[in-house]
Amino acid sequence: MPGQLMLLDSPALWYRAFHGVPDSVRSPQGEPVNAIRGFLDIVARVVRDTRPSRLVATVDLDWRPAFRVAAVASYKLHRTLEGGGEAEPEALGPQVEVLLRVLAALGIPVAGAQGYEADDVIGTLATRETGAVDIVTGDRDLLQLVRDDGPVRVLYAVEKMKPYDEGAVAAKHGIPGTHYAEFAVLRGDPSDGLPGVKGVGEKTAAALVSRFGTVEAIVAALDTGSDDGFPAGARAKLEAARDYLAVAPAVTKVVCDLPLPDYDDALARVPLSPAALLELSDRWGLESSLERLLQAVETALSD
């Protein structure tokens, strides 16, 4: 089903492009442009296939927000450099700068919020939207945003843009379709430095979420002293993790109420700055990727 609004998890997509496209893809001057061209090709493909009428690219203005680190100190700790900066490939940063200039020339709005991640911007924009939304990401944390009454879908880049709605999340993980954040708290997520509850794996986490719904409800059930609803051995493991369970939801749950402005997000057949786009295309060797994207936009707007 075509999505009215498409939200791009830009950091997830340019990292995926950087690692998925050979660094032999270079500009006429020899600089790597694999992340730029890979990103543009991903966007071209999903725009062509789903035909949105609006598009926003979201970014991290804080990749490791203080409120999440305060909750769980290990959050993304393994990705930090000495001094607290983000460890990223040396060749990626310069490409991101060029890519943001390309998006500006195309007229695709870039949305971020100080102190927050792209996930939180996506959560806010998807929650306040009354029509259909497609979220394009390689981050499974955003599965928590799916809902059938929007509808809001996640197009998951790791699985060749497989669309996830509530039913698909339930089928994949054995949980209610909107409860992925609670599942992630219990199971943990090594990619984000989230430890999870020691000894609780995917099956037990799914059983707990299916039975109780939320982490808060699990803690309330622990307070009763009853074993009712707890898989064998799980109660003791959860008791030992009470301190973690009290704070971890602040890490996994996407913020959905940021005071974001309205964006001029309508897809347009004509780039906002054609001369600037042509200059970037020639300088960085982006002609074929930009042509595919512009053709995809034309296709999306032809219905």
Give me the residue spans of the domains in the chain: 5-168+254-301, 180-252
Judged by DSSP in three states, 32 sits in strand
In degrees and rounded to multiples of 5, residue 252 shows phi and psi of -85, -30
| CB atoms near residue 80 (< 10 Å) | 15
User: 5-168+254-301 and 180-252: same fold?
Assistant: no
- Written as tens digits, the pLDDT of the chain (303 aa) is 456 999 999 999 999 999 999 999 999 999 999 999 999 999 999 999 999 999 999 999 999 999 999 999 999 999 998 778 888 999 999 999 999 999 999 999 999 999 999 999 999 999 999 999 999 999 999 999 999 998 999 999 999 999 999 999 999 999 999 999 999 999 999 999 999 999 999 999 999 999 999 999 999 999 999 999 999 999 999 999 999 999 999 999 999 999 999 999 999 999 999 999 999 999 999 999 999 999 999 999 997
Residue corresponding to tokens 């409120």: 67
| Per-residue exposure over 150-169, b if at least 16 CB sit within 10 Å of its own CB, e if not | bbbbbbbbeeebebbbbebb
Residue corresponding to tokens 């929007």: 150
Q: What local confidence, expressed as pLDDT, does residue 1 receive?
A: 46
What 8-state DSSP symbol labels residue 259? -
For the domain spanning 180-252, the CATH number is 1.10.150.20
Residue corresponding to tokens 């029509």: 131
Q: What local confidence, expressed as pLDDT, does residue 186 receive?
A: 98
Q: CA-CA distance, 194 to 112, in Å (whole number)?
A: 24
What fold, for 5-168+254-301? Rossmann fold (3.40.50)
CB-CB contact of 1 with 132 (8 Å): yes
